[in-house]
Amino acid sequence: MGRIRHRNPAEVREKALETAAKKYDEGCLNCSASYLEVAKKNGATDKHIAHFGMDRRGFLKFAGAVFAAGAAAATGGFVIPRIAHAMASTPFGGMGFFGVDSCTSLVNAMGASMPLQFYIAEVGAGAYGLDCFDPATAAQVGPDFTHGYWGLSGPAGGDSSVPTPTDPYEYGKQQALAALQAISQLPGIGGHTLFADVEYGFGGWDGTTPDQNVALLNGFLETIASAQYVPGVYISNYCRDNWFPADYAPKVPFVYWLAGGELAGTMCAPCDPTCDTLTPVRDGWIATVQHASFGGQRAALWQYWLSDSGCSGDFNFSMQAGYQTFAPVPVGSPLTPTNTPTTEPTTTPETTPTTTP
């Protein structure tokens, strides 16, 4: 694990406002709004905005609208600007959305002015679970933006809380039922996308065949879908290429969450407040990640930074807001446009509170 350089709120506030003004000047309004939200959470006031808004009337107006939106929110409710809320139904417009997963604490998630817009928590595992649900991180983004994943054990099973049946499909189904039971007992998770985390760490993948792996994952996906959840799969390129056939095509669509990849960890560290993480992540998505596919689905999320690279957290990007659900992106659907907004929104950013189900 890397060490985080902790900054006090004043330092975080100043850096966030400086970057917000810079991003506004570059024409990326959603980037600017994200940094303004971080500044606000670290005590920024209209006086602080004025300091960075000298000779920038457009930025002063935009920042004032973003700050006013937050002030109008009901206490205890999570709010997002209307411009971001609109992007939830138009996932390929704008800058995109940033979130964290697993054991990432709230302090680490936001410690260097990073926006925090969704969270994906571990709800359990077939074996060797990490108990990775951080209530503070979930509360920060709100239940509608908090989703879950299950550490999926492979067909060989292991030291498991879920007994291993002989039939791989049945084992996948039983793990899905256990995941659904677990997520029902976590009120902080209101999102309805439930991922299978497919990797070595949860055991049972040594010595198995592609046919067994396919049957097990199908059992999980179909059971999750039948429960009216949107199923998803978190998987690295290595596991995808070595454990599943190239023509794998399950019966139900799922949300493909790419773990790592060739560009992961190459951008500015998300815990480094001296440089820009958002833009290279967005650029990497456009250049490479959005083209990745598995099981007939294109990547909908990208874990671009793993805790092993430092920062004591796992950081993610998506062109979808993750409001209540993430959506599958079938191969052949339109790609992300390469441009970002260059004009102010046609309506003043407003707030839309979400409520706990």
**Position of tokens 């309506």?**
347
- Predicted TM-score (pTM) of this structure: 0.71
Whether residues 126 and 164 share a domain: the answer is yes
- Where among 26, 56, 72 does a domain terminate? 72
What value does the mean pLDDT take over residues 233-256?
97
Contacts of 134 by beta carbon, 8 Å cutoff, 6+ apart: 103, 104, 105, 106, 119, 121
Whether residues 68 and 109 share a domain: the answer is no
Q: Per-residue confidence at 73, pLDDT binned at 50, 70, 90?
A: very low
What pLDDT, in 10s, does the model give residues 126-169?
998 888 999 999 999 999 999 999 999 999 987 777 778 889 99
Q: What does each C-alpha distance from 321 to 118, 197, 210, 264 come to in angstroms?
A: 7, 20, 33, 21
- Burial of 245 by CB count in 10 Å (0-12 exposed, 13-18 middle, 19+ buried)? exposed
Whole-number pLDDT of residue 31: 63
In a domain, 325, yes or no: yes
What pLDDT, in 10s, does the model give residues 158-196?
777 777 888 999 999 999 999 999 999 998 999 999 999
Whether residues 47 and 126 share a domain: the answer is no
In a domain, 297, yes or no: yes
- Listed range (83-92, 214-223, 240-249, 253-262) with the worst mean pLDDT: 83-92
Here the tokens at position 154 are 């492979």
Cα angle: 200, vertex 204, 207; to 5 degrees: 95
The CATH number of the domain holding residue 115 is: 3.20.20.80
In a domain, 336, yes or no: no
> Which residue range is the domain that position 237 belongs to?
96-330
Whether residues 129 and 16 share a domain: the answer is no
Whether residues 252 and 125 share a domain: the answer is yes
Whether residues 129 and 63 share a domain: the answer is no
Here the tokens at position 95 are 């800058």
In a domain, 317, yes or no: yes
